[in-house]
A = this chain, B = another copy of it.
Amino acid sequence: MTYSIGEISEMLNISISTLRYYDKEGLLPLVNRTPGNIRAFNETDIECLKMIECLKTTGMLLKDIKTFFEWCEEGDSTIEKRYELFLMQKEKTEKQIEELQKALARINYKCEFYRISKEKGTTDVPGLREELSMKFLSLK
């Protein structure tokens, strides 16, 4: 079973031009072509793209994702490198989540601040600023 670039684009919600760009950049070294030179994606390519999406979400650069795929093709001699890559990415991702949770706490406070301000019609609500705002942020 193979899929055209348009089908893959819809399935994975990645634009056609992005798929071609990934291919050109060497991130999909295995994509077969029909005799007429049309890309025919298979399950492996799909898994590959899902891995790209996963790593991209965590902020890994395309060139580093490419390096990882190259290591995969080199075989068992690169297991150690790949292990360390994922250990590092795990750390980074955990830190990113922490950072986002801190930011979310701040944003949640702002939601509350503006909910009350909206109710009162002004950001100068006695008690609100002193008790909450100052704790996080003097900027309204």
Contact = CB atoms under 8 A, between A and B. Distances in A.
Interface in A77-99: 79-80, 82-83, 86-87, 89-90, 93-94, 96-97, 99
Contacts of A123: 76, 79
A132 interface: no
A93 B97 CA distance: 10
B139 A47 contact: yes
25 contacts: A44-B139, A48-B139, A50-B137, A51-B137, A51-B139, A54-B102, A54-B103, A55-B103, A57-B103, A58-B103, A58-B104, A58-B107, A72-B139, A72-B140, A76-B117, A76-B122, A79-B121, A83-B114, A83-B117, A83-B118, A90-B108, A93-B103, A93-B107, A97-B100, A97-B104
Interface of A: 43-44, 47-48, 50-51, 54-55, 57-58, 72, 76, 79-80, 82-83, 86-87, 89-90, 93-94, 96-97, 99-104, 106-108, 110-111, 114-115, 117-118, 121-123, 137-140
